[in-house]
A and B are shown apart, each in its own frame.
Chain A
Amino acid sequence: MDISTILVALMFVTLFGFLLTGFPVAFTLAGTGLLFGGIGLATGALDSTGIIELLPNRMHENIVRNELLFAIPLFVMMGVMLERSKIAEDLLESMGKLFGSLRGGLGISVTIVGALLAASTGIVGATVVTMGLLSLPTMLKRGYDTRLAAGSIAAAGTLGQIIPPSIVLILLAEVLSNSWSEAQREMGIFSVSPMSAGELFAGALIPGLVLVAMYIGWQIFIAIAKPSYSPPVMEKGEVELNTAFFKQLIGALVPPLVLIIAVLGSILGGIATPTEAASVGTVGAILLGAARLFPDHRRQVWIALTSLVGLLIIAGTFDLRMTRDDVPLSDMIGFGLAVLLSLMFAYCLMTSIWRLYRQGTMGEVSRSTVRISSMIYAILIGAALFSLVFRDLGGDDIIAEILSGLPGGYWGALAVVMLVMFVLGFFLDFIEITFVIVPIVAPALLMMDGSLGPIWLGVMMAMNLQTSFLTPPFGFALFYLRGVAPPEVKTTDIYKGVMPFIAIQVVALIALVLFPDLATWLPETLFG
């Protein structure tokens, strides 16, 4: 073994050792990278500091100028806004009331709300904590089986990884599209065909919905097979299913649903980039938040939303480009109307922001967004330094060699990568795995014969990680739930409760292997 191979292996071992001390991941990555850069220079495995000096350049070219990454603060802000303005809470409460009088009803509503919240925030921790605080006590009080209740919440919380538009998928798309171009160039393909975040979203949508359906199916099965495990949480007639109730339900359900459909639809329809759609989603979340927190402000929010719809209709009907030589009168009228509506919209949006600011929510949401986004970006920078050194030591060649030397060709290599990622998912968050492991293994995998392409690989990776976050003893979702669950819920209850859901995940993963169309059909249909 030459010195580089030893250093590459040591680099990983050292990284994990340091990470386990609990020092922040971003700086541990950077520090380990620097340490091994130094060792490499000292042992002669590296011949210059040139690579390390590239760091500011990398920060500029790959991170600052990367427009896809702007979607991160935007989606983070959208999610934090929906959470802080209690829209998520309302959703859970109304769904609970709707299904509450059915056996297994609360379990089903937890699954649905988990999927919806997931789609709007994509932050595992937030979803598990919210539902753990709101639904778990109710479920337990009304005689739900402790294990079933805990398992349902932990599992529903992880849906945020796989259901678009999640932040995980954006980061994964960013890394995979680079790996995909790299793989194609290595294979001698010069007209590199790109892979977009929108395509990965499309790929993840059906598998995500299949998972939701299977989760719900399990709740129904339990309700029939073991009626005492998931009793109805309220007496028949405790909540009157009258117009007032349905009004409340629609009020809680429709706004976030419309928001999610608008954001996702415009990305999948190819109308908007994820970043553009994210800004629309955040503006929507600000308006909904203002309407939720200030009932006397609802009329203005209605005006804002109506003007926005009006704008879309006008944009579809008239040609509003005023720089043409000859603009017909009808288009001029349309333009005038559009300007008027834009001004009305801007006024209502500004008053909403102003009220949220005066009341304090806006500041809280903004500061929280800065902290969460800075955390993600710091890891990006740390990982950039780590992988600069790793590559300079020849790490990617070594990994490619190991992977292609495994028995079983593509599937053997894939199985090993999936297994490694699954185990790493116990210790690391998805961000670290996406930025440290995926760029190293993905190009090699994508170059091998039998590869099913980057979208399928991305969906497999996302679902695999999601499963690992659910798996005892170290799954992340379990930690979050443990943190908010009442003491009478034993840790073993949580562990046993998630078992059936892990089985569902495994079935879904196998299905994805047997029927790759689940992931590839929609993106092919939509994006050709």
Chain B
Amino acid sequence: MLAIAKSLDVANNRIGQIVSVTPLLLVLVQFTLVLMVHVFGIGSVKAQESLQYINALMFMGGVGYTALAGEHVRVDIFFHKMEQGKRDLVDFFGTLFFIVPLCILLWLTATPFALNSWQGFEGSTETTGLHLVYILKTMPLLFTFSLSIFAVANVIRLGHALLKKDSGAE
């Protein structure tokens, strides 16, 4: 079981590595647009819209990676004083009762949301825009995927740690 958790973590870290090119890409595309618009007086709806894709890729793909790094902000008043076992307990039940249902909801709702858009390959509302809106509308599934593999790995990892602690105490 722990091996599964480990490989899911590897996958999430890999996604994190991949999406970490997006901030720089976002800067460069937006900056190029600034130069084009403010210096050369030419705009590009395609480039403008591509920012949505880059940005969405970043935070939809980065959610599990961020969770794995433990960087989702917590209310730290009591948590930082807790011992490791208690923290694991909070994280175990939190993952099970908050993140897992969220993932289920998103799998159930984001899948038809994406499929609807793929039917007929939905395009941009702007005629000169990027006609890849079906890809953009698939991004919530990336969020769901990234968060789901984190949740499964986390439940396995923490469940294991809690069980071991219990049996060790007896």
Contacts and interface: CB of A to CB of B under 8 A. Distances in A.
Contact of B106 (A55, A286, A353, A369): A55
Contact of A279 (B30, B97, B136): B30
Interface in B49-107: 51-52, 55-56, 58-59, 62-63, 65-67, 69, 71-80, 82, 87, 90-91, 94-95, 97-99, 101-102, 105-106
Interface residues of A, number: 76
B3 to A, nearest CB: 26
A479 B76 CA distance: 9
A321 B40 contact: yes
B152 interface: no
Nearest to A342: B35
A23 B74 contact: yes
Nearest to A369: B23
A377 B55 CA distance: 10
A481 to B, nearest CB: 14
A372 interface: yes
Nearest to A473: B77
B73 A20 contact: no
A366 B31 contact: no
Interface in A349-382: 353, 362-363, 365-367, 369-375, 377-379, 381
Contact of A23 (B22, B33, B91): B91
B13 to A, nearest CB: 10
A378 B66 contact: yes
A271 B21 CA distance: 28
B26 A374 contact: no
B51 A22 contact: no
A25 B73 contact: yes
Given A57-B113, A271-B38, A31 B27 contact: no
Nearest to A474: B77
Contacts of A69: 55
Q: How large is the interface on B (under 10, 10 to 19, 20 to 34, 35 or more residues)?
A: 35 or more
B41 to A, nearest CB: 4
Nearest to B137: A60
B101 A34 contact: yes
Contacts of A220: none
Contact of A373 (B23, B30, B39): B23
Interface string A313-352: 0110001111100000000000100100010000000000
Interface string A52-83: 11011101100011010110011001000000
Nearest to B53: A64
Nearest to B133: A60
Contact of B78 (A20, A24, A26, A378): A20
Interface stretch (A91-99, A180-188, A424-432): A424-432
B106 A21 contact: no
Interface in B92-145: 94-95, 97-99, 101-102, 105-106, 109-110, 113-114, 136-137, 139-140, 143
Given A279-B27, A279-B30, A19 B102 contact: no
Interface centre among A283, A428, A431 (most CB of B within 10 A): A283
B162 interface: no
B30 A366 contact: no
A74 B105 contact: no
A276 interface: yes
B169 interface: no
B71 A371 contact: yes
B47 interface: no
B117 to A, nearest CB: 9
Given A67-B51, A374-B65, A27 B99 contact: yes
Nearest to A33: B102
B163 interface: no
Nearest to B114: A56
B133 to A, nearest CB: 9
Given A21-B90, A362-B24, A381-B143, A28 B98 contact: yes
Nearest to A37: B105
A219 interface: no
Contact of A24 (B17, B73, B113, B139): B73
A342 B136 CA distance: 31
A375 B73 contact: yes
A4 interface: no
B34 interface: yes
B78 to A, nearest CB: 6
A22 B93 CA distance: 12
A22 B78 contact: yes
A69 B160 CA distance: 39
A77 B21 CA distance: 12
B41 A373 contact: no
Interface centre among A25, A275, A366 (most CB of B within 10 A): A366
B24 A24 contact: no
Contacts of B27: 74, 77, 279, 282-283, 286
B19 interface: yes
Pick the 7 closest A-B CB pairs, nearest first. Answer: A22-B79, A31-B98, A23-B94, A24-B72, A374-B62, A279-B30, A377-B59
24 contacts: A18-B98, A19-B75, A21-B78, A21-B94, A24-B94, A25-B75, A27-B95, A28-B94, A30-B98, A31-B102, A32-B98, A34-B102, A56-B140, A67-B51, A272-B34, A272-B38, A283-B27, A320-B40, A321-B40, A338-B40, A342-B39, A353-B24, A363-B20, A370-B59
Interface of B: 16-17, 19-24, 26-27, 30-31, 33-35, 38-42, 51-52, 55-56, 58-59, 62-63, 65-67, 69, 71-80, 82, 87, 90-91, 94-95, 97-99, 101-102, 105-106, 109-110, 113-114, 136-137, 139-140, 143
